């Protein structure tokens, strides 16, 4: 048992200032709300706070195709008309709109997950948190489901340099299709997704029968659920399956995606989970005492997302938080009760005991085909940092980094900023 977990937490205020558009459910502003709630409970005093580096295009191309990364770099709302055929090819449009600072947004959230993986690899922390990450739908050559760059795949690729086996767990209401697809043919990564399935629910994948192929057969685990699942059913199923997975697969590190759209009352979700039910999964995974990378994900009722990820930050710090939300910049969002916990929902639970039992038996049966944890011949470890060489004298002086940008690349162990130094922009009230 570790005496006390060392926790690294990644945040850049700029990530919460981008705007997907007036009618779009994705509100990155929820990340500012989460961060300020974390600060108001003084959780920052128990963690190391880092501003992530902005992932370089060459880092993003460790998974994504170079042409797709280059396209994301070049596209802006002003140049849309020049790229009409490419927009369709790379699946940008209504779900994945082009907005100001899109590429920088991707660089920040992906950089956070990559940095988190590197700190774990170098044993500089036991748990690393990047609530801005967890965008699990993005594919190698296209955007999907509000996700442009798949930071989770990039983080897992980083972890694979040091770990023979990586376990990925996803409790977002949507299936982890982008992550599963990336590792569908390998036994080095086991993906486990608990999600709503059926009724044409996005993305439409994740049947219990989808188990991986070739070397990856039985290393993709899907737990398809119906509307209205509650805390008791969800956590019981989660604990049974994850216990067996960890025992069988014996991972060296775990990546946990904590999409908050599985909470009751989410704009796009259809489950009945309370924050305590959701957080119980985080608490359970933490107990394995394995290196742990935790990310956000979906979540479209902003104030509940902020509540959830703050409670889960507390769980990771072994800190029980009072239910009364302290004064903070976003306090009005938590009116009228200003309470941290939300009750579970009242959607009819369509998951019968027999249905859940059948799913559980199928998953456990599939796990029996894994005789033992696969031993993997580790290759030579590639270097940690792929930084493109450039000669500063060749750069256009107008394009050189301004001081503010340079400052943001600096990571200091004591970095913590609030008030006037924060980069959060005006409150988004949409």
What residues are annotated to the active site?
Answer: 137
Is 36 annotated to bind ligand?
Answer: no
Using alpha carbons, select from 282, 307, 266 the residue that is nearest to residue 33.
307
Is 296 annotated to bind ligand?
Answer: no
Measured CA to CA, the distance from residue 40 to residue 36 in angstroms comes to: 6
Using alpha carbons, select from 97, 15, 298, 88 the residue that is nearest to residue 178.
298
Is 261 annotated to bind ligand?
Answer: yes
Return the C-alpha torsion angle 106, 90, 187, 252, nearest 10.
Answer: 0
CA angle 180, 186, 188 (to 5 degrees): 95
Q: What share of the chain is helix, strand, coil (3-state, %, to 5)?
A: 40, 10, 50
Is 95 annotated to bind ligand?
Answer: yes
Is 145 annotated to bind ligand?
Answer: yes
Hey, how many other C-beta atoms are within 10 angstroms of the C-beta on 295? 29
Q: Please give, one letter per residue, the 3-state secondary structure of 300-334.
A: CCHHHHHHHHHHHHHHHCCCCCCCECCCCCCHHHH
Q: What is the CA radius of gyration of the chain?
A: 21
* Coil vs helix vs strand at 45: helix
Measured CA to CA, the distance from residue 285 to residue 294 in angstroms comes to: 10
Give the Å distances, CA to CA, from 19 to 29, 112, 427, 428: 8, 19, 11, 9
DSSP of 361-384: HHHHHHHHT--SPPP--PPPPPPS
319 touches 46 (CB < 8 A): yes
Is 428 annotated to bind ligand?
Answer: no
Can you say which residues are annotated as belonging to the binding site for a divalent metal cation? Answer: 172, 174, 261
Summarize the annotated binding site for substrate as residue ranges.
Answer: 95, 145, 300
- Residue ranges of the annotated binding site are 95, 145, 172, 174, 261, 300
């Amino acid at each position: 048992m570790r005496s006390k977990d060392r926790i690294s937490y990644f945040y850049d205020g700029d990530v919460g200032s981008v705007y997907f558009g007036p009618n779009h459910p994705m509100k990155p502003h929820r990340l500012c709300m989460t961060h300020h709630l974390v600060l108001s409970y003084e959780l920052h005093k128990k963690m190391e706070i880092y501003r992530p580096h902005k992932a370089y295009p060459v880092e993003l191309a460790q998974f994504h195709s170079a042409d797709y990364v280059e396209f994301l770099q070049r596209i802006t709302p002003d140049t849309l008309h020049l790229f009409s055929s490419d927009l369709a090819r790379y699946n940008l449009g209504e779900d994945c709109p082009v907005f100001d600072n899109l590429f920088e947004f991707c660089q920040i959230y992906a950089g956070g997950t990559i940095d988190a993986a590197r700190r774990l690899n170098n044993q500089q922390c036991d748990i690393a948190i990047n609530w801005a990450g967890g965008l699990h739908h993005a594919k190698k050559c296209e955007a999907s489901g509000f996700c442009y760059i798949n930071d989770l795949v990039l983080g897992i690729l980083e972890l694979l340099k040091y770990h023979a086996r990586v376990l990925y767990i996803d409790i977002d209401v949507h299936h982890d299709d982008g992550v599963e697809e990336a590792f569908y043919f390998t036994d080095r990564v086991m993906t486990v997704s608990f999600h709503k399935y059926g009724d044409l629910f996005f993305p439409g994948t994740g049947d219990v029968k989808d188990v991986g192929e070739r070397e990856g057969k039985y290393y993709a685990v899907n737990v398809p659920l119906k509307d209205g699942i509650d805390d008791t059913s969800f956590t019981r199923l989660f604990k049974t399956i994850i216990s067996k997975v960890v025992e069988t697969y014996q991972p060296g590190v775990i990546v946990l995606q904590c999409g908050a759209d599985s909470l009751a009352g989410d704009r796009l979700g259809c489950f009945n989970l309370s924050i305590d039910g959701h957080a119980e999964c985080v608490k359970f995974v933490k107990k394995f005492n394995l290196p742990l990378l935790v990310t956000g994900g979906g979540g479209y009722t902003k104030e509940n997302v902020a509540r959830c990820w703050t409670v889960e930050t507390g769980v990771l710090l072994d800190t029980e938080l009072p239910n009364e939300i302290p004064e903070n910049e976003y306090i009005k969002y938590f009116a009228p009760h200003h309470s941290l916990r939300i009750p579970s929902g009242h959607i009819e639970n369509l998951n019968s005991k027999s249905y859940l039992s059948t799913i559980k038996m199928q998953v456990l049966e599939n796990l029996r085909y894994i005789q033992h944890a696969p031993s993997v011949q580790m290759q030579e470890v590639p270097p940690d940092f792929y930084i493109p060489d450039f000669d500063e004298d060749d750069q256009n002086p107008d394009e050189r980094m301004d001081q503010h940008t340079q400052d943001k690349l600096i990571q200091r162990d004591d970095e913590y900023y609030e008030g006037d130094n924060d980069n959060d922009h005006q409150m988004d009230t949409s």
